[in-house]
Each structure stands twice: as structure tokens, then as C-alpha cells.
Amino acid sequence: MQANAFDPPEGSLRRSVGRGAVITAFAQSVRVATQIVSVIVLSRLLSPQDFGVVAMCAPVLAFIALFQDFGLTQATVQKSGIKHEEVNYLFWVNVAVSALLACVLAGAAPLVAAFYGEPRVSGLVAALGLQIIAYGLGAQHLALLTRRMQFARLAIIDVASASAGLAVSIAWTFIDRSYWALFAGTLTAAVLPTLCYWANSRWRPSLPRKVDGISELINFGAGITGFNFANFFARNLDNVL
């Protein structure tokens, strides 16, 4: 693909940004409403202990999530005249980092369970690696859709994924009323967006190869990751304790 295929469509930038802000705000409102409904419905179907097991995993997943993107989504969005070779390289970096983080989660799962004194946490922490991998596979497609200001599509995907996640969690309770119903919903809400990003983006990855000047984008992403890392403990230490 040519570089200009990644650029926003011609037209009023101000109008596109303004419309995107309205659409994004509406989508976030619907998503919050969906989350409220989710808590109300699932709290009647599952026990407080089930929610507690999932809550124990939340700080670990939040910490790992700092590195899953490595700031490369933002790097793609902000780069002027980005090329296929650069996006392709970043795609494979995202995939590799996500796979590595999933392995780290699997290895750390027994330690997390021992820390909380809750054996059920181990299997759930390991399984959460699937969400990390799903995100890594769609990170660059999300970046390209954002770069092209496809805010309406992204809003629809966001709302649909949240709704589908709720539906799957509720359906799962009829099979197994446990914390795995919550996991099934969150996994659905992670996998479905990636599938939709691929379906709505014309870009497809190719075999990885070294690209000259790619270190500029990697360094940009590393800077964002470092900033997020510095703020993590202030925001999540209370959840760990």
C-alpha cells in the first residue's frame, strides 16, 4: 500500500475531529451504561466471591497491560507519512511482546495465587494472557483506523463488543455459575474488537523485515510506556492491597 493510503481522508479536519469527539463521547456513555447493567445483572447470577477472584487479577492485568502496546499504537497514529513497512514492523513487535507477556502471566500465575492465598486465581491469571494476545494482534489495525479518523466505526465496534461481552457472560452462567463467566465476557470483549479491526481495515501484515529508521517509532513508544509505568503504582496500589 502507498503511504497516503494510511492518511486521513480529505476534507475538513476540524469537522472530522469535532464529529469524532461527539461519537466517542456517545459510545463511552453507552459503554458505561452497559457496564452498569452488567454489574446489576451478573451480581444476581454470581456470588461476591466470584467477583472477588476476578478483582484479585485486575492489578496484575493492569500492570501487564502497560507493556502490551508498548506505545506503538500512538506511534503509528502520530507518525507523518507512515509506510507499510513501518506499520508491518510495529505489528510484529506488538505480536511478539504480547506473546511474551502472555508467557509471563502464565509463569507468574502461581505466585499471584500464593500472594492472595487463593488457588483459583492461578488459572484465571494464566488465561488472561489470551486477552493480551488478542489485543496485540489488533493494535496496529486500531491505530490505522484511528489515524484515518474512522471514529464512527470504532464507536460501533466498542459498543458492540461491550454488549457481546455482557451477553456471553450471562449465557455462560447457564453453563457454569462461576468467575469463568466473567472471564468469558472479558475475553469476548477483547477478541471481537480485533476481528472487527481486521475486517474494517484494508491493511494486512506481511513477513517481518528490518526497516531503516524504525528506532524513532520504537523510542516514541518506549517513552509513552515509561510515563504510564511511572503512574501505575499511584493508581493501582490500593487495589493490590
pLDDT of the residue at 4: 55
d(CA 187, CA 169): 10
Residue-wise pLDDT tens digits, 102-129: 999 999 999 999 999 999 999 999 999 9
Backbone torsion region of residue 71, taken as left when φ is above 0, otherwise alpha when ψ lies between -120 and 50, otherwise beta: left
Angle at which helix 48-68 crosses helix 120-127, to 10 degrees, equals: 40
Q: How far apart are CA 83 and CA 208, in angstroms?
A: 14
Residue 142 pLDDT > 90, yes or no?
Answer: yes
CA 230 to chain centre: 20
pLDDT at 240 > cutoff 60: no
8 φ, ψ (degrees, to nearest 5): -60, 150
Please tell me the predicted confidence (pLDDT) of residue 3.
44
Looking at residue 100, its amino acid is L
Predicted model pTM: 0.85
**Most confident region among 12-21, 41-50, 188-197 by mean pLDDT:** 188-197
C-alpha cell, 115: 500472594
DSSP H or E segment with residue 111: helix 84-116
Cell of 91: 505489528
* Greater pLDDT, 127 or 6: 127
Backbone angles phi, psi at 117, to 5 degrees: 70, 30
Q: What is the pLDDT of residues 155-204, one digit of tens each?
A: 999 999 999 999 999 999 999 899 999 999 999 999 999 999 999 998 99
Backbone angles phi, psi at 148, to 5 degrees: -90, 10
- Round to whole Å and give the CA distance between 189 and 98: 17
